[in-house]
Homo-oligomer: A and B are copies of this chain.
Amino acid sequence: MEYKIIAEKKLNHFIESTFLALGFSQEESSNAARVLVLSDLRGIESHGCARLHGYIRLVDAGKIKPKANPFVEREKFSTATLNADGGLGLHMGTKAMELAIEKAEKYGSGWVAVKNSSHFGVAVGHIMKALEKGMIAFSLTNASPLVAPAGGKERLLGTNPICYGFPAHNKSPFILDMATTVVANGKLEVAARKGVEIPLGYAQNKEGEPTTNPKILAEGGSMVPLGSDLEHSSYKGYGLGSVVDILTGVLSGANFGPWVPPFVPFLNQIEENVGEGIGHFVGVWQVEGFMDLPQFTARMDKWIERFAGSKPANGVDKVFIPGEKEYLLSLERQKNGIPIYHKVWENLVEIDQRFSLNILI
**Contact in complex: A252, B78 (CB < 8 Å):** no
**Contact in complex: B207, A314 (CB < 8 Å):** yes
Write out the residue numbers on chain B whose beta carbons fall within 8 Å of the beta carbon of A121: none
- Can you list, as one digit per residue, whether each of A130-146 has a CB less than 8 Å from chain B (1) or not (0)? 00000010000000000
Write out the residue numbers on chain B whose beta carbons fall within 8 Å of the beta carbon of A313: 148, 151-153, 204, 207-209
**Contact in complex: A176, B243 (CB < 8 Å):** yes
Q: How far is the CA of A242 from the CA of B227 in the complex (A)?
A: 17
Pick the interface stretch among A4-12, A60-68, A297-305, A342-350. Answer: A297-305
Write out the residue numbers on chain B whose beta carbons fall within 8 Å of the beta carbon of A291: 74, 81, 113, 251-253
Name the interface residues of A216-230: CB closer than 8 Å to any CB of B. 226-228, 230
**Contact in complex: B78, A107 (CB < 8 Å):** yes
**Contact in complex: B290, A252 (CB < 8 Å):** yes
Pick from B74, B151, B174: contact of A246, CB under 8 Å: B174
* A263 → chain B closest CB, angstroms: 21
Write out the residue numbers on chain B whose beta carbons fall within 8 Å of the beta carbon of A228: 227-228, 232
* In the complex, A261 has a CB within 8 A of chain B: no
This chain: how many copies in the complex?
2
Write out the residue numbers on chain B whose beta carbons fall within 8 Å of the beta carbon of A151: 312-313, 316, 318-320
Known: A174-B242, A182-B227. A312 touches B111 (CB 8 A): no
Pick the interface stretch among A18-26, A48-56, A233-241. Answer: A233-241
**Contact in complex: B78, A77 (CB < 8 Å):** yes
* In the complex, A231 has a CB within 8 A of chain B: yes
**Contact in complex: A232, B176 (CB < 8 Å):** no
Pick the interface stretch among A38-46, A188-196, A280-288, A353-361. Answer: A280-288
* In the complex, A86 has a CB within 8 A of chain B: no
* A103 → chain B closest CB, angstroms: 9
Write out the residue numbers on chain B whose beta carbons fall within 8 Å of the beta carbon of A136: 247, 251
A154, A164, A233, A302 — most chain B CB neighbours (10 Å) = A233
**Contact in complex: A153, B311 (CB < 8 Å):** yes
Using CB atoms, name the residue of chain B closest to A176: B239
* In the complex, A337 has a CB within 8 A of chain B: no
Q: How far is the CA of A182 from the CA of B150 in the complex (A)?
A: 14
**Contact in complex: A307, B156 (CB < 8 Å):** yes
Q: How far is the CA of A227 from the CA of B322 in the complex (A)?
A: 15
Write out the residue numbers on chain B whose beta carbons fall within 8 Å of the beta carbon of A81: 290-291
Write out the residue numbers on chain B whose beta carbons fall within 8 Å of the beta carbon of A311: 152-154
* In the complex, A256 has a CB within 8 A of chain B: yes
Q: A152-B310, A226-B237, A275-B299 are in contact. List 12 more A-B contacts (CB 8 A).
A: A74-B290, A75-B289, A136-B251, A151-B318, A152-B313, A156-B307, A162-B240, A226-B227, A227-B228, A246-B303, A251-B291, A256-B303
4 nearest CB pairs, A to B: A208-B313, A79-B289, A76-B108, A79-B108
Would you list 17 pairs from A and B whose C-beta atoms are within 8 A, ordered by A residue? A74-B289, A75-B108, A76-B108, A78-B78, A80-B289, A109-B109, A152-B312, A153-B313, A166-B246, A176-B236, A199-B231, A202-B232, A208-B316, A227-B227, A235-B322, A251-B290, A252-B291
